[in-house]
Each structure stands twice: as structure tokens, then as C-alpha cells.
Amino acid sequence: MFVSHTSELNSYPAERTYVRAATDAVRRADHHAVFMDDFPAVSARPALYCQEQVRSCQVYLAIIGFRYGSLVQEDPTGAEVPPWPDPPDPDPDPRPVSPGPPLPLPLPLPPQAEPARKPAPARKPAVPPISARVSYTELEYLTAVELDLPRLVFLLDEDTPIPRRLTDVDLTDVDAFRRRLSSTDLVVRTFRSADDLEAQITRALAGLAWFGKGEPAPLPDLLGDDPLPPGPATSARADIAERGRDTAGASSAVGASSAVGASAAAGVDGTAGINDAIDAGSVVGAGPPDGSGHGRRTRWRRRRSVLAAVIAAALVAGTAGAVLGAGIWRPATAQTCRAPTPLTRLVEAETWAGQQDGQCTGFSDGAYTFGTASPELVALLQTIGRQNAAAAGHSGLYTVVVAAPLTAMSAPSGSAEDSPTTSGQGGLNELRGAQLAQAAVNAAADAPGARSSIHIRLLVANVGWHSNGAETLARHIDTAARADPGLAGVLGLFQSTDSARRAVALLSGTTKVPIVSSTASDDVFTQPVGKPGQQHRPYDWYFRVGPTNRREAAVIAGAIPKIMAEQNRGGDPVRPLVVGGGGIGRDAQGNADYYSDNLARDVVSELRRLPHVTAPIVVSVPDPAQAASAAPGDGGPTVVGVLGHALSAQCAGRPAPNLLVYTGRTTNVNQLLVALAGSACGRSDPRMPIIAGDDAMELETDPGEIASGVLGGHALYFADFGLAQPGDLPASYLEQAREDRTVPDAWAAQLRGTPQRLISGHTIVAFDAMSVLARAISSAGLNTSQSSHQLRSDIQVRLSTICGDRALAGANGWISFDRYGDSPNAPVVLRLFHPAEGTVTTVDTGVPAMLRRPTSDTPNCTVL
């Protein structure tokens, strides 16, 4: 993707430039960005080389500010450059471009297989000829027009404050260029901030029907006219159906660089284009019987404007009121929850799709988007689909199921007072970590001299809001594992709910498939059970990379003296207020969430160990049903009212608390802040510092979880499991990891090449969970002649022996498991959230000590 811009946009704003925001969006969609800034010194004429770089790309993206840019000093063709006056304005009083809500751009025509492209249609407004005196920026645009590339254009809004030094002294040329862009048949959008630009580009890319160099895949007949005649494409699709949803012949031909994707709203559930984009030679690239593809291109062009309107409406409906990055809810029907043909060869059980509380759940190898309109989730599934298709032709292919909550029923807890996001950021971060690790593992296997030849296919399993569908999915994983001997493990199941507990119990006790969880901090998952001297593991096949609530609570308590001193409260005794989730995690199905209450108990226990700390005040957030039934005198019928009343009652008649520890879910933190501000606790200390649990890691990639202005004067700290921020990993650990060589360079490169903004602690922990599972699969020396039980048993044994001096160096520190499946040295750090910038900084909590190489005398390394 060619990204065109003038130089000032690569240095402004200082905290995050517009070009960096565009790069983040492009990489998020798994595209490669090409910039003129990156061009090496070449002997060719600069203009000619510039055009060659545009021709090497498949999409043109322009970010236009208030500089026209350096003028081209030579004609690319070698002719003398004549002066060229600005043409008459086609509209002397053009309608100003309104920023409006960000909408996806119209579906551009994907590039055709033939190298030559026809010139721009005559109906387009006049533009200067390439031989005229134009800037390099406009030359890039004209070259894209000549090639008929898909063009995405974003103009910096005219009302955006920007230093005068970053604009042209004479704005005549740049204003004329901006008018020419605005008067084309493109939909041009304006932006006012880096975050706004990233969001709009992300949505535009999600609406880009892009299938590599082949023809556009068949789309549903939304207009009801001109159905596609049966040709090679439809015949191939029929053949696939007759072979029982087997697409292996197509998927094996897709290379690592093949593009497989579709708009979130291309079909009823957003997957209609993806499942047809299997192979450019057999399905996507096929045209009418004469092989020209002309008939389909004609129909595609005719439908572009209507399809764009349909997609725009679907995306706006799905994203209204939501913050970028959330898993978006929309009503599901039996039609929307029917999975399409997968991209790779799957057993029938691995194609299951169903409903859970009005959400689409089930499995997806990248072809199924679970009825969501979230651009970020759709783009991530497209990336996984491409990776799966590229790996499908290799021997030594193993399937790992990623079970994560990716959708929501509506606003969390059913209250309009909840967070502006819905659900899914934790699930998205889990899925992104798995995707990065999959790419690294498969790249390492393809590298010359690779020590491992295994390839991983990800099977995404949506367990729904609050993991309500975890137990249902576990039963289907059990069925799939019996049918697919290559199903080697499960990643995820990281929420501490009743449903997740039952899912782990089934998969560990009945299915006997290795489960590696990233966080799942509820103590019960790895807490020894049984009489003293006869203790045993609660779940023999379960392993956790992240720390327990007990360790998190100890780090929170240990950091309190430093935080109090930092907040100029070092001389006062600590008077803690602990607010737990209480009934927040209980929905209509009674799926209790033990995370919050468990962490609250552990925090209270650790606080009692500290000197100069008074007895904690403990308050629980009521669930909506409790609040609705509460009397007005008790603050009913709202959650905020009941919580505010409880806080006032606890704080009355005693010294006011000067520290709040919140152990609930981030999706409910806005309720807490509003209730606190109106209570006696908050009024007595409106700048009381707050320490939140690890669920607030979502703020690293979704700062909009906290509504604008609601934090007030409170400083918000939160616990984090992932060393994802710059400077977290000391040089001493990096040197040890390099010597250990258990982290292939390709794996580390995946993280280095990912924008920091896209990496949360959850992502990097999930990355390590996926990588350690892949290494166990590789070291097991698996082959298809073994029984499925033997394959998984080998993996489980190797995971069980990763402890002490057998620990593996990961991206997040040393990975090891004690005899109960817990990580004895998982790091925990505290961050400080800065709401105005949407950024975090790290509070020193002794991370280097956690990153010392484990030794053979590490406790509890004996396998039970």
C-alpha cells in the first residue's frame, strides 16, 4: 500500500504523528506500507522512481495537509517540463467537506491480473497532466489515477490547529490540489487528530473488498438483478460443496503473501466474500467461460456505489456509540449464525456455528466473522485466514483452538451508564497475540535451516460475552478433537466464570487436550486440592502463563508505599477502600465471575500484612437486578445510585479513605467513578488515587473504556501482566534470551514489527502462551501415525517438564509451570494511566528480579 504525504505530517503531532497513525492502521490490517521517505538513493530520475514505487503497490492512500510539497524538477518521460496554470475551478464555491461520522470508503475495484491498466475515465474532473509542474505528492496521486488503483484520500480538516510553520506561505497550490481531490468521484474524508485518522483508515480498509491480484470474489446478489452465470468460479464452488466443504485443494495453493479478505458487511454476516477468496487460480480468479473476467468486472463496477451504501449502513449501525477496537454487538438470527465454507480443510465438527444469548458463536478458520461489524475483528480474522491458507499445504500442520470472548449481547450489564465500548477488547488482544505467534512459528518453520517444521493453523472459537458460551464450545471442541488427530491444544479460556471453569473441567478431565491460558487469574484454576500431604492438581491438562490473583495482590500491596509517596501522601497511614465486582459478573444465566471477588479477598489479605494500614473498607458493586429492586432510600433503582449510597454509608462516621483498590471489570469503571464522585468517600477526597486490577490492561489498546472527563482528579494505576511497554525488558534478560536461543529471531521480529500502540499486556502474554504450546508440539516430535490421545499426551508431558532450569525464554520473561500448572515467575507490573493522552507509564515494581534465569532448585518443579 503506497502512503502518500508531505514531510511535515511525519513529524506532527509530536506525541503521535499523522503518518504513524496511518502506519498503525495499515499494519493493523496486515498490509505493508510503502513511503517515499524510505526510498534509497538511486541513480534513476526521482520522479520516475517515485512512479515505479506507486506501480509496485496495490492500493494508494493519501494524507493531505496544508503543504503542496516539493515540485517535480523533471518529466518522468524525459521531456522538458512546461509551466502549467491551475485549471478553472469546476465548482467556484465548492461545498466544504464535512468531517461527519467516519464511514468506509466505496469499494474500489481490486487490481486486475494484467499489468496494464486503462486510464482514468473521461468523466473525472480535469487534472494536471503528469508532464506538468506538479509536486511529488500530486505526481503519486496522478500515477494512481493512471493505474486505476483503489484510492483512499484523507484531508486534514481546515479547522484543525496546526503551527503556521507546517503550512505553505501561499496556500494557492495546496488548496487547488485539495479541491481537485474533493471533486473526484472518490469519497474523501477529513480528520482532526491522529486517533481520528487511524480509526477512519481502519474502517476504510475493512470496507475494501480486496482479494490480491485476482478478480473480485462473487458477492451476494444484493440488488436482485443480473445473477452471475455459471462459470468456472461457480462450478468450482459447487464442486467444493459436493466434496463436503473441503477446500484443501484451493487453500494449499495460497502463498504466504496471498490476500484473503472481505468487508464486514459484504454478506449477511460479513463473510460472503471471504469464503470465496480461496485461490486466485481456481475460484477467485475465474471469470466467464472465455476466461476474460470482463462480464464480472462490468457487474462489479455497476454495483460498487450500491454496495458501498449497504456496507456503510451496516458498519455505522454496528459501530454507533462504540470505540474503535471493541467487539461490536448486533442482533443475530439463525441466518447470520450459519458459518460459510471454511478456507482450509476442516473436519465437519470444526465448522460448527450456533447462537448463545443472541450472539453468533462457534468456530472460524478466518472465513466466519460471527455476525460482527467490528472492523478490527474482521481485519484480524482476515489475517488469520491468510495465515491459515498459507500453512494449509505444509506437512506437520497442527490445529490450535483459540477460545476467547469476541462479541457482546449489548451494553455490558444492560445499563446505559456503562462504558462507551461494548465488549471484546480482551478477546481481541488475546486473538492478536495468538495471530502474531502463529505468524512467527510458521515463518520460523519456513526459514532456511529451520529446526522445526511444524505449522500452526488457528481455529478461532468465540465464547461470547462474559464467556457464556465457553461450556458449549468446550463440548464442540471435544467432538472436534475426537475427529481431528491434528487438534493439538487449546489457547485462551482466560475468564474466571462458571462457564469457563466447566469448560476447563471438561477439556482437562474428559477430552484430555492441553490447555494453555494467558491470564485466567482466579486462584482456583491452579490452587492445590486435597488433604495436606495428598494434594494434587485441580486440572491435569491446564497450564497458565500469567500470574495468579495472589501474586497480583502481593505486587499491588507492595507498590502502595511508593504510590502514596508519589501522590504526596507518604506521611499518612493508609486507609484503603476496596471495591469489588460483587454481582457484576452474574448475568441472567447465573454465570458468576469469580475474578473480582477472588482478587478483592487476596488484596484484603495482603493489605493486612502491611504496617501503618487501617482495616480496609470493603464495598461490592451491585448487579443491575439488585439495583433495580433496591428502594429509593437505598439509592435504587440504578447501579450508580445503590453503589453511591453504599459508599456513603461505609465512609460516614470514620476517617475518610485515602486509597481505593478496584478489583472489578473495566467495563464498569465508569459506574464506579460516577458513584464515587457523588458519595461521601469521593467528596471527602476527590483526588484519591485508584489502583485497578489487571482487567484494566484493556486501557493500553482501548483508552476509551473510561469516558471522557469522568476520571476527574483521581490518578488511576492498574496491574499488568505483560512487559509490553518500551524499556520493560532489561538488557540483562535480552542477553540471556539471546544466549538461550529458545526464542527464534522470527518470533521476536513479529513483536518488533508491530506498532507499540497495538500491543497490550494481554497480547504479549497470549503471544507467549501460543509460542510455548507450539514449542511443546514441536519437541513432541508428532506425526500423524500416532493416535490422537498419544499426540496430546506427549504435548502435556513436555509442558509439565517446563520448569526450573528447563524454563523457556519468552517475549514476556521466562516461561515455566510448577507442578500445579501455574507460572512461578510470571511478571506483574503497575502502570499509571494518562487519560488526556490515552497513554500509560510504568511504575517500578522490581521487574528485573522476576527476570532472573530460573534454576534447578525452583520450588514445585516435580511433576505430580
Cα dist from 233 to 225, 255, 281, whole Å: 19, 20, 9
* Tally of CB atoms within 10 A around 633: 7
* Tally of CB atoms within 10 A around 460: 28
The rounded Cα 202 to chain-centroid distance in angstroms is: 12
DSSP code per residue over 35-67: EGGGPPP-SS-HHHHHHHHHHT-S-EEEEE-S-
Q: Is 213 exposed, middle or buried (0-12, 13-18, 19+ CB in 10 A)?
A: middle
Task: Quote the radius of gyration of the chain (alpha carbons, Å).
Answer: 28
| pLDDT per position as a tens digit, 633-642 | 989 898 899 9
Lookup: cell for 52: 515505479
Asked whether the beta carbons of 636 and 629 are under 8 A apart, the reply is: yes
Q: Residues 6 or more apart from 45 whose CB is under 8 A from it?
A: 74, 76, 78
Least reliable range by pLDDT among 152-156, 333-337, 767-771: 333-337
Asked whether the beta carbons of 686 and 677 are under 8 A apart, the reply is: yes
| Cα 444-449-453 angle, rounded to 5 deg | 50
Asked whether the beta carbons of 108 and 309 are under 8 A apart, the reply is: no
Task: Pick the most confident of 126-130, 532-536, 540-544.
Answer: 540-544
| pLDDT per position as a tens digit, 702-735 | 787 787 778 888 999 999 998 888 778 887 887 7
| pLDDT per position as a tens digit, 679-699 | 999 888 999 999 999 988 888
CA distance linking residue 272 with residue 218, whole number of Å: 8
What 3-state class would DSSP assign to 735? helix
What 3-state class would DSSP assign to 169? coil
| pLDDT per position as a tens digit, 44-78 | 567 787 888 898 898 999 999 999 988 886 554 44
Look up cell 494511566; give the residue: 833
Cα dist from 862 to 158, 379, 673, 819, 823, whole Å: 66, 43, 46, 6, 14
- In sequence order, the β-bridge partners of residue 457 are 399
Give yes or no for residue 578 having a pLDDT over 80: yes
CA distance linking residue 128 with residue 130, whole number of Å: 6
Amino acid at 209: A
| pLDDT per position as a tens digit, 782-812 | 555 566 778 899 999 999 989 888 888 888 8
For 486, which DSSP code?
T
**What is the share, in percent, of the chain residues with pLDDT greater than 90?**
28
| Strand 359-364 versus strand 353-356 pairing type | antiparallel
Mean pLDDT to the nearest integer, 605-615: 90
Asked whether the beta carbons of 288 and 383 are under 8 A apart, the reply is: no
- In sequence order, the β-bridge partners of residue 327 are 423
**What is the share, in percent, of the chain residues with pLDDT greater than 70?**
72
| pLDDT per position as a tens digit, 11-45 | 888 878 899 888 888 877 777 888 776 554 444 56
pLDDT mean across residues, the chain: 74
**How many helices and strands in the chain, by DSSP H and E?**
23, 21
Give yes or no for residue 572 having a pLDDT over 70: yes
Cα–Cα nearest to 775, from 435, 488, 507, 512: 488
Lookup: cell for 369: 466473522
- Provide the pLDDT for residue 50: 83
Please report how the helices 549-566 and 595-607 are oriented relative to each other, as an axis angle in degrees rounded to 10. 60
- Provide the pLDDT for residue 741: 63
Mean pLDDT to the nearest integer, 197-202: 83
